[in-house]
């Protein structure tokens, strides 16, 4: 069965630190990959997505993610975090021709001012 | 902008009650989903629907049913609520293989 793993459950960083959140999936075929963010008290919002093409994708608010097919990974990065990035981040995958979106367990990021 | 509206933000029900959670989307999306979100478990798919009157079980359908009589509306039904169904319930919609659009969620407490 398809699955998505997010190995970091809680991350605490100081402002201006660099961020990398890991995401690995288990599916050998063509995948579409997403990162969602949930700010406190708000609904889940799309940060960025990968369907095809350049494996380095840029999203909103300075986030980017790199798709490495050989490693089945889609890690999220930001060079310098801000206090306002405090949120929970979810990686998700769907495969072509299916309706199911599989989510990871999420990573809670806390950025200290 | 896509809007997914869940009818209640907070709901408190008693054990054994029948509970209806309603979701409406305004973008003519064919696909709609119900997830539950629990700390440390992420989002788990309960049911999804890819067309009117069509539904498929997700990963945790036990204790739940769904109804999709109109394209814009997808209802989640807890036939007999139990305390282990206390959770945040999220509705989402999309066209196939495009990003999901989520509602604000319904926090259900079953006492």
Residue of B1, B41, B99, B103 to mutate for A, most A C-beta atoms under 10 A: B99
Q: Cα–Cα distance between B66 and B63 in angstroms, integer?
A: 11
Q: B14 CA to chain A: closest CA distance, Å?
A: 25
Q: Cα–Cα distance between A38 and A27 in angstroms, integer?
A: 25
pLDDT recorded at residue B98: 83
User: Are residues B107 and A41 in contact, defined by beta-carbon separation less than 8 angstroms?
Assistant: no
Identify which of A6, A32, A36 has the shortest CB distance to residue B97: A32
Structure tokens at A66: 């790199």
Q: Look at residue B110 and tell me whether its pLDDT is greater than 80.
A: yes
If you measure CA to CA, which chain B residue comes closest to A31? B97
pLDDT recorded at residue A100: 81
Residue of B25, B31, B40, B42 to mutate for A, most A C-beta atoms under 10 A: B42
pLDDT recorded at residue B19: 97
One-character DSSP codes across A54-66: -SEEE-GGG-EEE
One-character DSSP codes across B29-87: -SEEEEEEEETTTEEEEEEEEEETTEEEE-S--TTEEEEEEETTEEEEEESS--GGG-E
Question: Cα A52 to the chain's mean position, in Å?
Answer: 16
Per-residue confidence band for A95, with pLDDT thresholds at 50, 70 and 90: confident
Query: Measured between beta carbons, which residues in chain B are less than 8 angstroms from residue A92?
Result: 43, 100
Q: Cα–Cα distance between A41 and A28 in angstroms, integer?
A: 36
Per-residue pLDDT of A50-83, as tens digits, reads 999 999 999 999 999 999 999 999 999 999 999 9
Q: Cα–Cα distance between A84 and A41 in angstroms, integer?
A: 13
Residues 6 or more apart whose Cβ sits within 8 Å of residue B40: A9, A105
Per-residue pLDDT of B3-12, as tens digits, reads 899 999 999 9
Return the closest-CA partner of residue B108 out of B45, B33, B38: B38
Looking at mean pLDDT, say which of A25-34, A81-90, B89-98 comes out highest. A81-90
Per-residue pLDDT of B64-103, as tens digits, reads 999 999 999 999 999 999 999 999 999 999 987 788 999 9
pLDDT recorded at residue A7: 86
């Amino acid at each position: 069965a398809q699955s998505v793993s997010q190995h970091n459950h809680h991350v605490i960083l100081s402002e201006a630190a660099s961020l990398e959140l890991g995401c690995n999936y288990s599916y050998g075929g063509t995948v579409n990959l997403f990162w969602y963010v949930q700010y406190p008290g708000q609904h889940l919002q799309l940060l960025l997505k990968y369907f095809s093409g350049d494996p380095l994708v840029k999203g909103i608010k300075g986030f980017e993610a790199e798709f490495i097919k050989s490693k089945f990974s889609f890690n999220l990065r930001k060079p310098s975090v801000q206090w306002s990035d405090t949120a929970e981040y979810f990686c998700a995958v769907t495969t072509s021709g299916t309706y199911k979106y599989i989510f990871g367990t999420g990573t809670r990021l806390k950025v200290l001012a | 902008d896509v809007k997914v509206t869940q009818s209640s933000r907070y709901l408190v029900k008693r054990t054994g009650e029948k509970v209806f959670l309603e979701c409406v989307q305004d973008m003519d999306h064919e696909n709609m989903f119900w997830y539950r979100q629990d700390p440390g478990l992420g989002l788990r798919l309960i049911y999804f629907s890819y067309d009117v009157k069509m539904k498929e079980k997700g990963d945790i359908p036990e204790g739940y049913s769904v109804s999709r009589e109109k394209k814009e509306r997808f209802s989640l039904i807890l036939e007999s609520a139990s305390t282990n169904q206390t959770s945040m319930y999220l509705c989402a919609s999309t066209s196939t293989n495009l990003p999901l659009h989520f509602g604000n969620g319904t926090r259900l407490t079953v006492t």
